[in-house]
Amino acid sequence: MMRYCGNCGAVLREESLYCPECGVKLYNRSRWERIKRMQTRLLRSMDETWRFEEEDIGENRLASFFAYLPLGGIVSRLLSKSSPFARFHRAQGWRLLLPEAILLALGLLLGALSDLLFPSLTRPIRVILMIPGAVLLALLIAGCVISFKGKAVRLPFIGKKEK
């Protein structure tokens, strides 16, 4: 099968890493597959669903879902205090709360300060704070989706390996 550049449509040689016409970086199929395989292996190494009983997972998905919402850990605890599955997700959920609180406080403080002293900095500060904010939001959403699907996956930054 012929390979074509996705950017300019030039015909490519099987092993080329860059398009000879437009210079765009290419992923040949084997490299792409290697990346895919690495992703799958990484995901599998983070997936600890096997540690939990099916019944536990089935009954406590909602409680696990709540664990990732800000202060939702309290609701989660009320719903199922002793479920190991919900506890796994609460542990991750609680680790989101401190960075969330710090970011919120920082945003309010710096926002107010820059409004008073350096109004021209208000916008850049807001943009900079959006980066960690987006990471936290992504973790929160990932946690909600994963727990609701009945999976126990260690998330980056907030997942901890059990010994």
Query: Where on the chain is the footprint of Zn ion (CB under 5 A)?
Result: 5, 7-8, 10, 19, 21-22
Cβ proximity to Zn ion, 16 vs 30, nearer residue: 16
> At closest approach, how far in Å is the CB of 19 from Zn ion?
3
Count other Cβ atoms within 10 Å, centred on residue 65: 23
Rounded to a whole number of angstroms, the minimum distance from the CB of residue 35 to Zn ion is 20
**Phi and psi for 120 in degrees, rounded to 5?**
-70, -15
Burial readout 134-152 (b: 16 or more C-beta within 10 A, e: otherwise): eebeebbebbbebbeebbb
CB of 13 to Zn ion, least distance (A): 12
The residue among 22 and 105 lying less far from Zn ion, judged by its C-beta, is: 22
Nearest to 154 by CA among 92, 66, 94, 107: 92
State which residue, 12 or 158, has the beta carbon closest to Zn ion. Answer: 12
- Nearer to Zn ion among residue 7 and residue 40 (C-beta): 7
